[in-house]
Amino acid sequence: MSNFTFNHIALSVKNVNISVSFYQKVFQFKEIKNTASDSKTRWLALGKGKELHLIPRQDAEIKTNKAVHFALSTEGINVFINHLTILKIEYSDWKDTPNKDYIRKDGINQVYFQDPDGYWIEVNNAI
């Protein structure tokens, strides 16, 4: 069987402009050209050839819970948590304790927060 690598994550979003603005403000992701189509779907570079595709679906019903999330890692977890605080973005630990980070049993520090459409994002220091 072939080897597989992660390529992109695609999210349905109510307002693509608001979502792009959020991800650029929080993560400073650069927008890249949508090479697949002439649609209004917008692509952001996550780094190392990985991408986030934001697909406009104004009437989509988006339901999710914290167990359904994607995770990004950074060496500067404390700097990132401070960045969330400055942006006034509420975050929590896994147990929903507001404005609290959590150190897992394996020593990884993590926080959770939601994007404008309610998708859960974990940021940790698992690098």
Domain range list for the chain: 8-56, 69-124
Q: What is the pLDDT along the chain (127 residues), one digit of tens a residue?
A: 789 899 999 999 999 999 999 999 999 999 999 999 999 999 999 999 999 999 999 998 999 999 999 999 999 999 999 999 999 999 999 999 999 999 999 999 999 999 999 999 999 999 8
CA distance 1 to 19: 37
What are the backbone angles phi and psi of residue 39, rounded to the nearest 5°? Answer: -70, 175
- Output the pLDDT for position 118: 97
Say which CATH topology domain 69-124 has.
Answer: 2,3-Dihydroxybiphenyl 1,2-Dioxygenase; domain 1 (3.10.180)
- pTM for the structure as a whole: 0.94
Q: Is the distance from CB of 45 to CB of 54 less than 8 angstroms?
A: no
CATH class for the region spanning 8-56: alpha beta
SS3 label, residue 70:
strand
Give the residue carrying structure tokens 């006034």. 88
Instruction: Name residue 105's beta-bridge partners.
Output: none
Give the integer Cα–Cα distance in Å for 55 and 111: 25
Give the rounded percent of residues in the chain with a pLDDT score beyond 70. Answer: 100
